[in-house]
């Protein structure tokens, strides 16, 4: 399908209403949270990400509706499927807590290893 000269994925117009109005977080939403958490931890942005999540926790639904408004524009920049999954997840109240928990878990998984590696390299440089 072509829209404004750009190809759009077919699922842009097809909505899974069962997932849209589900009360619990879905498996694909949790998988995306893991992916986001891993990227945040690898880039060492855990503290800013957690502060942002805590600050905007009361506005998670408003943010999801803004994402819905911007969806036709974000299709050209981001993966549409992931944007839709994230928007759907942010409509649920427990999403912010779950995302924060997964970011903290990813920090434990990826953070200390990176710090040890830097420390080891620093010690090797000093000994040379």
- The overall average pLDDT reported for the chain is 81
Taken in order 88, 90, 94, 96, is the CA torsion positive or negative? positive
pLDDT given at position 102: 96
Torsion on CA atoms 71, 72, 77, 80, rounded to nearest 10? 60
- Tokens encoding 11: 């699922």
CB 46 within 8 A of CB 107: yes
Supply the angle between the helices 60-74 and 80-90 in degrees, to the nearest 10. Answer: 160
Give the domain ranges of the chain: 27-112
**pLDDT at res. 122:** 65
Per-residue model confidence as pLDDT tens for the chain (128 residues) = 444 444 444 455 666 666 666 778 889 999 999 999 999 999 999 999 999 999 988 888 898 889 889 888 888 888 888 888 888 898 888 999 999 999 999 999 987 666 656 666 666 676 66
pLDDT at 34: 96
8 Å CB contact between 68 and 3:
no
């Amino acid at each position: 399908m072509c829209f404004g000269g750009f190809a759009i994925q077919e699922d842009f117009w097809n909505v899974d209403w069962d997932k849209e109005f589900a009360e619990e977080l879905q498996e694909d939403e949790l998988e995306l949270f893991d992916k986001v958490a891993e990227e945040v931890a690898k880039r060492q942005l855990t503290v800013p990400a957690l502060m942002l999540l805590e600050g905007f926790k009361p506005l998670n639904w408003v943010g999801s509706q803004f994402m819905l408004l911007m969806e036709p524009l974000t299709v050209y920049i981001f993966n549409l499927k992931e944007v839709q999954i994230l928007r759907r997840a942010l409509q649920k109240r427990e999403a912010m807590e779950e995302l924060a928990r997964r970011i903290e878990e990813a920090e434990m998984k990826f953070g200390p290893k990176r710090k040890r590696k830097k420390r080891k390299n620093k010690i090797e440089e000093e000994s040379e």
